[in-house]
Amino acid sequence: MKRYWEIDALRGLMLVLMTVTHLPTRLTDPLGQPFGFVSAAEGFVLLSAFVAGLVYSRIGHVRGVESMRSAFWRRVLKVYLCHAATLLFLFTVITGVGLHIDQPAVKNLVSYYLAAPRDGFLYGLLLVYEPALLDILPMYIFFMLMSPWVLAFAMRHGWLPVMVVSAALWAAAQFGFSEWVYGLAVRHLGLPVPYHEMGAFNTYAWQFLWFSGLAIGASRNAPGMRPLRFPAWLLVLAAGVALYCFYWRHTGINGQAPFGGDVERNLLFDKWLLGPLRLVNLVALGILAVRFGPWLMRKLPRLGWLEAMGSASLPVFCAHLVAVLLVLAFYGDSQTARPWWGDALLLAAVFTGMYLVARVSRGADVPPPADEVPTEPARA
């Protein structure tokens, strides 16, 4: 299957932005949510879902649903092992360093593990306990586990029922559905992990973004597929929304909090709940990217280092987590712990390390079945 260098470059860009956001430097706030009230996490999840829909639906159409499921399981196992290794690195090396030098940032990060080591270790491996920064891969694993069943259903019945259910779950999440499910788990299963230690991302909300990307990617393999086209009025509207949110984000006195201290109104743009106005901002940017992205890619020079990181997104993502955890252990979470030149050297060292990981991992992060899919359809 053809590999899209544009997608790799975009995923590489999302990894760069996430790294800048997670590393405590003077660039953390200015470059957080750089395009409006949308972060790199949304772009990374959407692109990952698009690629999954594109690759695995092709396997389903050509080799059959069982081969598609097997390909998903192999990918899930690889992602889980990467997450488990990162988690063990946090519980051993980072926690040991943090306790030795009495680093508050580390002790806050693993507070539940320090209070209940056995439960923290067990429920961490079970993807229930998710310390901050280590909550994206568990969500990705959950979505990948559900995806073969959803894709198989959509291949038979279409995407409309899937997206209706997904939108309903997203809406329920805005009104406390996750907390209600957590209450049931505590009451009937005796779950000991506090709610706030189960990851910042609301899975019931973010699944809508994942399945939207999965549907768009899978639709590219549908018979009679046509390029996505948007009417002129929608492009004008999307441009207006995107420009206004960009202006609001970078000129407003509240920075990344659109309404300052107004908690209720900020929920409309909330990242963790994927608030409704945040979705509007994201859709506007997506429409503009689809319409003008190909033209922009033809005008800009290809950046091989971005493509390399995007094509090896899983190991590079884990490398960025290791770097961020080491910085937290030795420097803490202060954004002004170093002078400007120190921040510049730190960022240069981290990005060099991520690029080297990408070069070493080149080809290792590509699902093998996708490259081996035959051109003729599988026989029944």
In DSSP notation, 268-301 reads: GG-TTTT-HHHHHHHHHHHHHHHHHHHHHHHHSP
Residue 293 pLDDT level (bands cut at 50, 70, 90): confident
Mean pLDDT of 246-260: 86
Q: What is the pLDDT of residue 284?
A: 97
Strand-pair partners of 130: 198
Percent of the chain, pLDDT > 70?
Answer: 94
- Whether residue 38 contacts residue 281, with contact meaning beta carbons closer than 8 Å, is answered with yes
Average per-residue pLDDT in the chain?
91
Instruction: Compute the distance between CA of residue 351 and CA of residue 223 in angstroms, rounded to an integer.
Output: 41
Residue 377 predicted with pLDDT over 70: no
**CB contact set of 263 (below 8 Å; sequence gap of 6+):** none
Number of neighbouring beta carbons within 10 Å of residue 352: 11
Q: What is the pLDDT of residue 300?
A: 86
Residue 373 predicted with pLDDT over 80: no
Instruction: Compute the distance between CA of residue 53 and CA of residue 210 in angstroms, rounded to an integer.
Output: 10
Strand-pair partners of 198: 130
Q: What is the pLDDT of residue 375?
A: 38
Mean pLDDT of 124-153: 96
Residue 269 predicted with pLDDT over 80: yes
Residue 79 predicted with pLDDT over 50: yes
Q: What is the pLDDT of residue 367?
A: 53
Residue 251 pLDDT level (bands cut at 50, 70, 90): confident
Residue 278 pLDDT level (bands cut at 50, 70, 90): very high
Q: What is the pLDDT of residue 298?
A: 85
Mean pLDDT of 9-36: 93
Domain ranges of the chain: 5-221+303-369
List, for residues 217-233, the tens digit of each pLDDT value.
998 877 677 778 899 99
Percent of the chain, pLDDT > 90?
Answer: 80
Number of H helices, E strands in the chain: 18, 0
Mean pLDDT of 204-211: 97
Radius of gyration for the chain, computed over Cα atoms and rounded to the nearest angstrom: 21
Q: What is the pLDDT of residue 378?
A: 37
Residue 380 predicted with pLDDT over 50: no
Mean pLDDT of 355-368: 76
Residue 365 pLDDT level (bands cut at 50, 70, 90): low
- Whether residue 11 contacts residue 48, with contact meaning beta carbons closer than 8 Å, is answered with yes
Residue 10 predicted with pLDDT over 70: yes
- How far from 40 is each of 46, 201, 238, 257, CA to CA, in Å? 10, 14, 19, 16
Q: What is the pLDDT of residue 47?
A: 93
Residue 253 predicted with pLDDT over 80: no
List, for residues 335-358, the tens digit of each pLDDT value.
988 899 999 999 999 999 999 999
Residue 141 predicted with pLDDT over 50: yes
List, for residues 27-64, the tens digit of each pLDDT value.
998 888 999 999 999 999 999 999 999 999 999 988 99
